[in-house]
Structures are given as structure tokens and as C-alpha cells.
Chain A
Amino acid sequence: MEILGTITLLIFIVTLVATLLGWIKMPVQTVLIGITLVNIVLALIFFGLQGMADELRLVPADVIGRIILHPVTALLGGLFMGGVLGAAGGFEAIKAIVNRLRKTPLGLAGTLVILINIPLITMLPCGRIIAAALLPLLFMFGPEGSGTLRKTQLIVFIAAFARNSFGSCGPSPVGGVAQIAEGTLGGATFPDAAAGILRGPQVFSLMIGTAFMALFIRFVTKRLYPEDTVQIKDREGGVEPEIKVNWKGYTSLIIFALALLTATFISFIPSLKFITVQAIFVAASILIIIVCRVSLGDLMTGIILMPATAMVAGFLAAGSLYPTGGMQVLQSIFKGLAAFPLLGVVGTLVILVQAQTILPLSCSRILTAVFVPLIYVFGKGVGLTDLQIGIVMAAYIINATTSCAPSPLGGAGMMAEGQLRAETGYLKGAFSFTSLAVMAPLAAVFMRFITLDVFARNPQTGQMMFTATWGHLGQTILWSLVIMAAAYGLIVVMSRLITASLGRNRKVLIASFGLGGVLCGISLALALRLGEPVAGTSLGVSLVQGIIGGIIAAVLIALMIQVSFAGPPLKENVQAVEG
């Protein structure tokens, strides 16, 4: 059984890495389905050889049973809504509303900030739902459209929007990724965990992560386009083209907003709890179809098959590891790492937290379904308290939801890159870096100081504790500021070091990632230590362990990013801009 587990796990990881590095040039679905089939065939052969022929019958059901159906159907339901909304002109209505907002005291800057954060406000189960429709509209702010923004500004704007939208699946209450972990955390310590224990940290670190992503891209882009100070297309006489939106657009937008609100808050009404998100979305789409007289075909135009199919294929591939014993092998590998003195429990946890960014697949749920139970079992195994497991889980989930952005396998970040007409990989570095150095530590800090105290139950009395104090608030802000300042320093220094040479840029990239990893390791180790001691190590030892783990994870991430953020050499680039 162990041999079989090792072989299947090796097949899984090696094939995925080969696909990520571009050695296997096939759609990710094909690769994953291939892994599944190979693993199942191997399992059949092994079981057959061992004389466990009657075990064979249950293998297919076990594999198919690993499909988590809810996020797939919720995502497809959301995409239906997107398609209908687009056809009815709802997104045009958003544009008109934004145009109107610009003339209020909010001004252009405030409007852009809100626009960037629309995905975080709507919180759909997949960022693609809203990004697919809104990205082309946002692109029209740039030189090719109304010319409101310059090219560098546009790059920052689109990248920040993408970052925000592709993290929004984390805090979503309607089939979000965090729900997988919330339930696992639920139990004696956090009986109400499913009511949103992970959503606060997610939102917090996503907000700040978006801003840092924008900062990162700004510094890098400034180096790539040093001369980009003029607007490429002047506005003709300052007159902007008027956006015409008919009543259909506004109506559909209102129905959409109502459906979203219903979906968000329905779980708080006990008598209506049974209505699922999918049902609400389908009903709302059909309502829009009837009211706004959109054709039924428009329902389907919004569907992006890629995430749904990749998700199913990924669940199948990961599921094929269960009956073959690959999961036990994975667990024992991490246990072995934890026994290694230089890495220790803290170092292993830091690597585990980054596991998904190291293997960025096109949808985070593929591996989250594997890793969340693994982290829980691992944490219990090495003697972490429930609070500490909560901290690790918060940091893990934010990294997991981020992992679809830097994925080269049709990850969501590619939508932004494609929209910018850039080679794949231009934004990947920034996405990975912010999730490594800023978002995971911040989520851990927020979880440690604010959320856990709200959710934890007093072990003596069994009552819920509500002990978050002003001191906790101060500590949260202090720690966040320290982390943000360190990350800012890193970004500034790194952007200064970018030159015309790609090879040198790559070294800079790896070095800065390593430093980011150090930052991540230190803050995670501190957040864990501030709860209770970890596995009996002293503070200094756990700091060192965290740093080593962080560096290993960061270097692995940097190696997985094939194309560095520097893109083509500067010289050539400047020529291209000029010519």
C-alpha cells in the first residue's frame, strides 16, 4: 500500500510540476484526467496482485466521490448570472454609475478605488464571474478607450482589480473556498466556525494585499516604461462619449444585487436556510430573462468552462490519491519534515501554508480539498492547539485563494494579462510576492488578535468568549504596519535593482522572494508563538525554523515562476514604446 501511495503521489506531483513548467503542453484538464486514469489503473494492478480483488469495485466510486459539487455548481450558477447580466446591459449600467460617481466628491481616484474593490464587495464564489465581464470595460479607461488613464496607470489598475477579484472566492459565503476550512475548524473550540471564522482575516489581508500588489506593479512598471508620461490618445476637447443605458440594464443590476444580498444573508434565516445559492442564481437569471427579454442563449454566453472543468478534473486527480494511499504518504512526508531539526514544526507549517502558491493550479479548490484536512490532521498530530490551527488555516486559505492568479495553467491572472495584451507571466511575480510576503502574515495576525477571541469558547465554562480588547486592536494595527513597512521596503529596494539583463532580474527576483519568505516565516512564527508555545521549542528556535521554512517556500515559488516580472529587456521595450 505504501509503495503504491508513493508512486501515485510521485506521478501526481511530477506531472503537475512538468505541466506548470511548460514541459507538457496540454490543457490542464487533460493532464489531470490522465493522472487520474493512470493512478486508477495502477491501483487496479496493485490490488489485483495483492489478491484484494473485491476492493477494486469501490475504487471508481471513491474517486468520483471526491468531487466537491457545490463550488462547481455555484460557480456555474454565478456565470449564468454574469452572462444574463452582460446581455441585459447590467455592466454598462455599472459603467454609467461609475461615470456619475466621478462627478461626486469621491472624484476619479475614489471611484477607481471602489471599482477595484467591487469583487470584494460582491464576493462571488469565483472571481472570473465578474472579472470576465468587467475587465473589458475597465480596459476602456485606458489609452485604447476613453484615455482617462495612462498606460502605466492602466496596468496598475487592471492588475489590482484582478488581484482583488481572484482573491474574492476566499471570503465568499456562497460556496467560497474558505468554507471548506471553516467547517473543518468547526468543533468543540469554534462551534460557530461555519458562520465565518475565516472571512474577516481574508477580507482584511485581501484589501491590503490589493494595495501592495498595486504598489509592486507600479514600481516595476515605472522601470519598464520610464518615459510614459504623456497620454497616448488625447481626449478630444475634453468631451467624453456619453454612455447610453436603458432601463433593462438598471433593472437587471437591481435584480442581481437583490439576488446577491439574498444569497449572502439567507443562511441567517433558519426557515429559509434550505434555499441554495444555485437556486437563487438560476431563479434570478430566469427572472432577468423574463423581465428584460433577453434570449435564453445569453444565459450560456457567460459560462467559462475552464474553471469548472479544471476543478472537476482536479478533484478527480486528487481523489485518485485517496484509495491508493497517496494521502497517507503525503502526511508522513510532512511529519518527517517536522522531525527535521532545522525545519521543525514551525518551518513545516510555513511551507504548508505556501503549498498552494508553490503548485499554482488554475483553481485553488483542487488542492484545498486535499490540504485542509491534511493541515488539520498534521496540526493535531504535532500538538498544536485549536487556536494555532486556526491561525495556520487563515494564512493557508488566503494563499490558496491567491494561487489561481499566478497559475500559468489558465489561472485567473491570465485573464488580466491577456486583457493587458501582455505575455503570460508579466503579473505573476507580483501576485505571488504579495501573497507570500504580505497577505499570509496579515491574515495570521488578524486571525490571532481579532477573530479567534470572538469565536473561541472558554474551556472551563463552555461559554463563548468575547474578549477582543483595545489592546488586541492596537497590536493588530501595529503588527500590520510593521509587516507592511517591511514589505514596502522590500519592494522599493527590489525595483531599484531591476536592470536590462533578464538573468540578473531573475536573481533579483529570487533574492527578493527569499526575503519575502523570511518576512512571512518570522510573522507566522510570531503569530503562532503568541498563542502558545509550539512543540516545546523556544522563541528563538521557532523564529529560525520559520525563517528557514519561509526561505525554502519562497525559493520554490520563485523557481516555479517561469517568466520573471521584468518581461523583455528594458532597452528593447523603450524602443518599442517610442517606435
Chain B
Amino acid sequence: MSIYTRHSTKLAMVLAAFALVGTSMLAVTFEATRDNIAASEKKAKLALIAQILPPALYDNDIIRDAADLPAVPELGTAEPTLAYRALKDGKPVAVVLEAIAPDGYAGKIKLLIAIKSNGEISGVRVVTHKETPGLGDYIEIAKSNWIKVFDGTSLEKYPSNEWKVKKDGGQFDYMTGATITPRAVVKAVHKVLVWYSANHEKLFSLAGTGATT
């Protein structure tokens, strides 16, 4: 046995021993925290939905009853998404949809929109965006209450040609100097409403996935 082999074997064994101990410890921790992590992730999602859809309005497990939605051009989604369906006493009361406004100032704006079964918006939240800090980012609820302008609006409330920012002759407020971002959001929300009004029947007939994530 050459000196090389002897030395290499020794080092390999030592390193393997450390790897064994370390990985085992990780495995134990992972098992111990697995349930807690899943629970807190679900809690986080529910908390987000609760912002736009009061929990009192439904009684089902909204996460479990989510339906797989293929990519829908009208929603701006390019990947399958989840549609969270809220039921009360087994009857549909609202749906929470993911949508994307593609024409933000600096790229896509990801939205979460809750629509009641009567076509009225319960609430909208921006999930992610890349708008200019301090300029376009007032669409975030943490920065401004602007996003609440959609609460209670519906296709009935404003005719289609008034689903615009005030600068373009519509109904929606905006901040001077930053019109592109609200314009994109308003347009996206309007498109979602239009799509919803045509498809809400189908939405509730989709099979639930039972997904928890």
C-alpha cells in the first residue's frame, strides 16, 4: 500500500465520519420541523388571502379546495396556477385568482385578486413587482392604500371604457409622475373581471387538487 493510498484513505474516512454525523443531525432536525414548517407556510398563505377575503365569508379549507388552472392568456399567466375557491355551506361565495399584469414600468406585476360570486371585487394585492422604488411601488399595500381602490368595484359599477386611470379619462386615481404602473394594474384587473364573468361557472366545476402548497 503506497503512501498515497494510505493517506487518502485516512482522510476519506475522517471526512466521511463527519459527513455521517452532520447529515444525521440534519435529518433529525428536518423530521422535527417538517410539520411546523408546513403549518406556518399554510398560515402565511391564509393570512395573505385573509387580507382580501374575510375568513368569515367562507367555511371550507380554501387551500385544499384550490383548483388547478391552466395558463390563461386573459389572466396574463403563462404557467398553470391555482384558483382558490371559497365556499359557504357548500355554495360558492368567492374565488381567489392569480393574475399577471405584463406591462408594468419595469416588467411583470403579479397580483392576487379575490372576486365574490356576484362579480364584485373583494380585494386585490400585489404579490411581486419590480417597479421603481419610491415611484411605482405605491401599489404595494405596505407603501400605500392605493390598491384598495378596487375594493367593491365590478364590471357593473364602471362601464368598460372607464376602467382606466383618471389621466386617461377613467375612474381610477394615480400618483402624479407614475402612471404606467397603475395603468397596468387597472388594465389587468379589468381583464380578470371580464374573464371571470365568462368563466365563473366553469371554475367551480373544476376538480380540486387537494394541494397544500
Task: Check if A and B associate.
Answer: no
